[in-house]
Amino acid sequence: MLFRLINRTFILPSAGFAAGFISFGQAWQTGSESQGQGPRNESEQRVDILDRLAQTEEFKKLTENFVMMRQSELVPGKHRNNSISQGLLFGRNHIEIDPVIFQDHENRSMTAFYHLGEGLSSENGNIHKGVLALLLDEALCFCGFPTLPNKKGVTGRLNIKYQRDIPADSTLALRAHVVETKGRKCIIKGTLESVPEKSSSWKLGSGSPTVYAEAECILVEPRWYKYVTWLSFF
């Protein structure tokens, strides 16, 4: 009876956790090594949106001054389907481009571009606010990671003020910057904005953007993280 209790309470759960932990780590490493962390193929995206973005003045300036990244490059290929924004929410009528990210490490800021399709709208035809919360959480954390001692952390608190509804099939600019850093904690602020258009030129800066949401994120690095930084899958 005692052995059965110990077995159910400690041995089996511990063995299951260890097996899952090891298999996850192996898959993460294998995915990174065998598939690299390259961006998604253009065949998986709305190329017309990418082409229009590339023609805008702000996009050109960002490309000239900063390294352009795609969100998929941050997630090994084998784990993309397990990532919400790269798996469940990515694809036709959802997140229709591999989000384009420019990070300014010197000024602790970043700009990212998204296109949200009709499949992410609620019954009123506007983008679901839960999707916007996810985008803001991910982006603000990514902006703050480099300022933490071991470059990783978790969301301690996320406050969002929704200003206006976002219609489906919209291209958005997400802007974020670190406003305060103290030890294992940093504070990041950001906005979700429209991409201003002017007739058919679709040039950023040709009009005032509409601010759809403002957010503030408190990012915290767990105390224990410094003890596992040698593990390549963390």
CATH of the domain at 53: 3.10.129.10
Residue 64 belongs to some domain of the structure: yes
Residue 51 belongs to some domain of the structure: yes
pTM confidence score: 0.78
9, 228, 185, 151 alpha-carbon torsion, rounded to 10°: -140
| pLDDT of amino acid 228 | 65
**Which residues are CB-neighbours of 109 under 8 A, at least 6 positions away?**
103, 143, 175, 176, 177, 178
| pLDDT of amino acid 155 | 92
| pLDDT of amino acid 22 | 45
Rounded CA-CA distance 34/80 in Å is 14
| pLDDT of amino acid 204 | 43
| pLDDT of amino acid 202 | 41
Give 10-residue mean pLDDT values along the chain (234 residues).
54 50 45 54 88 90 92 78 82 93 93 95 91 94 90 91 95 96 94 71 57 96 73 48
Residue 99: give the domain boundaries.
41-196+208-227
Residue 2 belongs to some domain of the structure: no
Could you tell me if 184 and 148 are in contact, meaning their C-beta atoms sit under 8 angstroms apart? yes
Residue 55 belongs to some domain of the structure: yes
Domain count, the chain: 1
Residue 48 belongs to some domain of the structure: yes
Residue 132 belongs to some domain of the structure: yes
